[in-house]
Amino acid sequence: MGVPALFRWLSKKYPKIVQSVAEEEETEMPDAEGINIKVPVNMATPNPNGTEFDNLYLDMNGIVHPCTHPDNKPAPETEEEMMVDIFSYTERVVNMVRPRKVLFMAIDGVAPRAKMNQQRSRRFRSAQEAKDKEEARREAVAEWEAMGKTISDDEKNKVAWDSNAITPGTPFMDLLALSLRYWVVQKMNTDPGWKDLQVIISDASVPGEGEHKIMDFIRRQRTNVGHDPNSRHVIYGLDADLIMLALATHEPHFKVLREDVFSQDKGTGCRICGEEGHYAAQCTGVKTEIKKPPTEKKPFIFLDVAILREYLEVELDV
């Protein structure tokens, strides 16, 4: 569970805890026939941020939700497209951090009983909102037809994807776990930066929230005989409670990676074509003819937990 506005408040009160992430972009090179092809980022090269990290932990629900129903671009049409978006987003995060030892992917499993009540109320509310949206869409379609506008059968019979599918035990979560395993094996066989990486996937069949499974793994690692106390950890997730959990690990080198909330401006354009200046109800383009504009990548930032700990030590020294 997140803590609303905690990250924004902390980064304004203690500005030195936030650092921008240097990100290496894909390059384009001409092939033998002169056609430009994209050359992926080489993860085996040194980290552009100047620091090498050992372990990266991904709270996958912070990746799945933005990829399945994004705010700043049209949502993917099929679950296969969603999987491709999840892979590309995950690869982008891994290329930023470039872990050398462990990559841990944690998907939320069955929540504890206390949170289950809250999740249940959220799911019911989401289902009711989806039902209301569908009724409003059908009324809009009927109005458009009454005005003489032609609407394709695909638009008439379109069924919105239910975000409640992101729940342990659904076929979507099974597909996500299988797809991630397949993609990880493919990356380990083809990408030199992944060759010596230990990848652990904790899917929705393992009980507990993603961030708590990650923290449990970190605590267990400390009991190992060969554990390096100076390991450098990075955790990615959208929930601000990751900051509190990272403080509680007492690890000396720990950073929280997340999107820069200060640079996020929600687009006001059409959700069909993505263009500004009109809404979806006024869009005249046909979906097959519309070229979706490339969306700008949101910048990422590191929150240094060690610096935050020093700030708190000074602040609480009485």
Instruction: Quote the domain boundaries for residue 142.
Output: 111-167
Instruction: Give the separation between CA 8 and CA 240, rounded to whole angstroms.
Output: 9
Predicted pLDDT of residue 288: 45
Flag whether 13 is in a domain: yes
CB within 8 A of 190, min separation 6: which ones? none
- Tell me the pTM: 0.81
Residues 161 and 89 grouped into a single domain: no
In a domain, 266, yes or no: yes
- The predicted pLDDT at position 280 comes to 63
pLDDT tens by residue, 214-246: 999 999 998 888 889 999 999 998 888 889 999
Query: What's the whole-number mean pLDDT along residues 189-211?
Result: 91
Residue 255 CA to residue 244 CA, distance in Å, equals 12
Domain assignment of residue 307, yes or no: yes
Q: What is the pLDDT of residues 103-153, one digit of tens each?
A: 999 999 998 888 888 878 888 888 888 888 888 877 887 887 788 777 776
Residues 138 and 65 in one domain: no
pLDDT in tens, 61-91: 999 988 988 877 788 888 899 999 999 999 9
Q: Is the pLDDT of residue 287 over 60?
A: no
In a domain, 1, yes or no: no
Q: By three-state DSSP, how is residue 29 classified?
A: strand
Closest to 309 measured CA to CA, from 261, 248, 226? 248
Longest CA span, the chain: 75
Q: Is the dihedral of CA 102, 209, 93, 63 positive or negative?
A: positive
DSSP 225-283: TT--TT--EEEE-S-THHHHHHHHHT-SSEEEEEE-GGG-----S-TTT--SSS-GGG-
> CATH number of the domain that 38 lies in?
3.40.50.12390
**Beta carbons of 254 and 306 less than 8 angstroms apart:** yes
Both 184 and 155 in one domain: the answer is no
How many structural domains are present in the chain?
Answer: 2
Whether residue 161 is predicted with pLDDT greater than 80 in this model: the reply is no
Which letter does DSSP use for residue 298 in this model? Answer: P
